[in-house]
Structure 1
Amino acid sequence: MNENDITVNLAPGSKIDSVDFENLTFGNVFTDHMLICDYKNGVWEKPVIKPYEPFLIDPSAKVFHYGQAIFEGMKAYKDENDDVWLFRPDQNYERFNKSATRLAMPEVPENVFMGGLKKLVEIEKAWVKKGKGNSLYIRPFMIATGPGVLAAPALFYRFMIILSPAKSYYSGEVKVLIAEHFSRAANGGIGAAKAAGNYSAQFYPTKLANEQGYQQIIWTDDATHTKLEEAGTMNVFFRINDTLYTAPTSERILDGVTRKSLIDVAKREGINVEVRPVLVSELVEATENGTLQEVFGAGTAAVVNPIVGFSYKEKYYELPKQENSVALFLKEKLNNIQYKLAEDTFGWTVKI
C-alpha cells in the first residue's frame, strides 16, 4: 500500500508536550492519531488516519451483544540513530487473522494492516522515545459494528489501530495462585484466539486471587487441572535444573510472539529448551527437591515477568533467589535485538 491508498487527516496540533514520559501508566495515554478502516457490503473501504477521538456506534452493534472483538499487542522501538523499528509484525498480522477467522470476522488485508500500521507509526515517530525500556505500544483491533440483536455474525466491522507510549513495565514481585477450579480456555473454544472475551473471563478469578495476596493465576487445563498452561495474560516458562520447559501451543494456549522468540534466543544461546506439557505435580516436586530454579511469564508488555512463588492447594512455595537468572538473561538478549543494540541474527526487526 502506498501513501495515496490511505486518507490522512492530520490533527491541527499535538498533545505530546503535555505528556510526562517519565511517569506513564501503561496503556493510559494515546498518541494524536488513529487508523480506521471499515468493512461494509463484503469489502474493505479505504483506510483513514485521523485525529484520535471517540466515535459513534449503534447501541445494537453486535460487538456489545455477541462479543465479536479481537485485538493484538505489539511494540515499536527507537534506536540510537532515531530510526524506528517494529518487532516481528508479520507474526501479529498472521495471528490477528487467525483470531478473525475463529470469530467469524473478515480477515484484514495485509496492505490495510501492515501498510496502515507503518504509515501511522511513521506519522507518530516523535512519540517513540529513545532509551532501553521506552517503546510505543501498538494496539490493532477489530469490532463488529453491524446493527441488530439476531444471534449471527455481523455484516459490518471496523478495524482500528491506536498507539500508546510505554515505559519499561515492572509489576513488582509477582506471586501466583495455581488454578484448581477456574479455566482460561477449553478444547474447541477460543483460547488460541486473541479474543476480548478471553480476558474479561479472567478478571473474576484473578480478582479472587488478588484478594488472597496473589497478583496472577497460573492457568491449568480445563479437563483435569493438572497441566500448567499460562500465567495471567502471558505464556509461562519453568526452569528446572538447567532446562527451560514451556507448554506447547494448542486450542487453549495463545501462540505468543514473545514466547516463540524467547525459545529461539534460548536455543541460540545454548540453553536447553523442552516444549511439552508440564504437570503441576512436577512443579511441586521440583520445588520440594530444590531443582526448580525459576518461573516466569512472557508477553509483549513486560517481555519477561519473573515469579517469586506460587500457591497450590493452600500451600505456598517460595522460589530460590537467582544470582544468574536465565529469565533476565533472555530478556536482555531479546531487548537488545528489539532496540538494535545487538545484531538481529533472526531477521525479526522491520524498519519504519
Structure 2
Amino acid sequence: MTATLRLARPARSGRSRPRRGAALAALAAAVAAAVVLSLAVGAQALTPAEVWHAIVGPEPGAQATAIVRDLRLPRTILGLLVGLALGAAGALTQGHTRNPIADPGLLGISAGAAFAVVIGIQLGADALTGYVWFAFAGALLASVLVFGIAAGRQGGPTPVALALAGMAISSLLSAFTQAMLLADDASLNVFRFWVVGSLSGRDAGVAAQVTPFIAAGLLLALVNAPALNALGLGEDVARALGQRVFAARAVGVAAIVLLTGAATAACGPIGFLGLVVPHAARALTGPDHRWLIPCSALTGAAALLAADVLGRVVVRPAELQTGIVLAAVGAPFFIALVRRRRGVVQL
C-alpha cells in the first residue's frame, strides 16, 4: 500500500518540484508575452507607446484608443479566458477517459452547443450574446445525457463508456444539426460564421457572460486533480485509496462542461487546442494532474492568443480565423510531438 500511495502522489521529489515550478513560471511569462502581442499587433500598426497610452491614459477620440480599448482588449481578455478553459478541459478529458487522443468535444459538448445555436438562430437570436446562452445550455444538456448513459447500472461511468456515449451523442446531434441547416439557408448563413471558431467580433459583454462559468470550471478542475491521479491507477486502486469514484467522475465532467461549454459558446468550436496542449504540458510536468492542469491551462492561453495574432498578420489586411490557424498549425505539431516523444502520450 505504501508503494501505491507513492504512485498516486508522483510529485514528491525535491528535484522535480522546482523544475515544475520553473515550467509553470515560464508558461506564465509566455502568456504575458502573448497578451502584449495581442494588444500590439494587428492590421493597424501601433507603437508600444501608443498601446500603453491607450490603456492607461486614453485620449478621447484617438484612433489608437478605439483600436486598443474597444477592439483588441476585449478580444485579448476573451482569448485568455478561452485558452485557459480549453487547456484545462483537455487535460481533464484525457485523464478521465484515459484516452491520449481525446479532446473536450468527445463528451458531446461541441455538438450540443452547435445544435442549440441552430435552434437559437431559428428562434430569432440574432446577436452573439444571445448565442452564448443557447450554446451553453446545449453543451450542458448534451454532457448530462452522455454522463447519464455512461453511468449505466454499474454505479458510475467508466472511461470507455464515457468515450462511446460521447461519440454516439455527438454523431446524433450533428446529424440533427445538419438536417436543420439543410432545410433553412438563412440559418446556415448565420451559423457558418459561428462554427468556424474565432475571437473576432466579440465585445466585452461576451467575456463578462462566460467568466463566472470558466472561473468555476477552473476551480473544480484543480479540486479534481488529486482524485484524477488516483483514478489513473485504476478504479479499484482508487477505491482502495479512499476515493469516491462516482463523485470524482461527476466533478471532473462538471468541470469539463463548464469550461468547454463556456468556451464553445463564446467563440464557437475551436479544435486541436484541447487535444495538443495537454501533451505539450505533460512533457514539462509529467503525469501529476496537480501540475498538469494549471500548466495545460497556461499553455492553452498562450497558444490561443499566439494563433489569433498569427491569423491577423498572415493575410493582412484581411484576417484568418483562429480556428483555422490552430487546425493548420496544430495537426503537424501533434504529429511531430507523437513521433518524437512517444512516452508523452502515455497516461
TM-score by length of 1: 0.23
TM-score by length of 2: 0.23
More helix by share: 2
